[in-house]
Amino acid sequence: MTKVRSLLYMAMMTTIIIILGLIPAIPLGFIPVPIVLQNLGIMLAGVLLNGKKGTMSVILFLILGLVIPVFTGGGMTVSVLSGPTAGYVLAWVFVPLLIDGGLKRFKKTSFISMFFIIFIFGALFVDIIGSIWLSMYSHIPLPTSLISNLVFLPGDTLKVIVTTLISYKYGENFKLLINRID
């Protein structure tokens, strides 16, 4: 029964990620990577579930993407993982583990320290891995790729603020509830 509930929470998180993917992307002319809202769901998986379950919910998302179009704009896992945005998506798998691990290091986490942990692992880490892949895939110099990814920082920072607010207010209660059914 607890396993079933555990799966249910992961499925709920996966559903949130998919729903966020229904919001249209903003394409950018100068790189083949759009601004999306779906990565907000990935960050939330790290603060609402524990690292293991959060990462499992991202993996479940990728598995579902093998058969249905779960990505923003209707992309599927195989096509996305063989395209210019693969680096970001591969990094997504580790985001919940890294955010949860980072938050656990600080017992009495202040809003500011939570913000920085979520920013480093939920935004910077993803954008750097994404830039490295993009540079190799599109044959553009790494510094150019990294600089062009600065365009994501304002939007990603807003997503980090939303995630931090939710984590600050509800994260621990939610995690306690989830861990009770571990």
Q: Which residues pair with 72 in a beta bridge?
A: none
Count of residues touching ligand BTN (by CB under 6 A):
17
Q: Closer CB to ligand BTN, residue 78 or residue 177?
A: 78
CA–CA separation, 53 vs 73, rounded Å? 26
C-alpha count within 13 angstroms, C-beta hemisphere, residue 37: 11
Residue located via tokens 């395209």: 83
Q: Which residues pair with 54 in a beta bridge?
A: none
The correct pick among 127, 133, 148, 178 for binding ligand BTN (CB under 6 A) is 127
Closest approach of Cβ 40 to ligand BTN, in Å? 9
CA–CA separation, 139 vs 21, rounded Å? 28
Residues 138-157 that bind ligand BTN (CB under 6 A): 152, 155-156
* Identity of residue 47: V
**Residue 41 is a binding residue for ligand BTN (CB under 6 A):** no
Closest approach of Cβ 97 to ligand BTN, in Å? 17
| Sites of contact with ligand BTN (CB under 6 A) | 33, 35-36, 39, 71-72, 75, 80, 85, 88-89, 126-127, 130, 152, 155-156
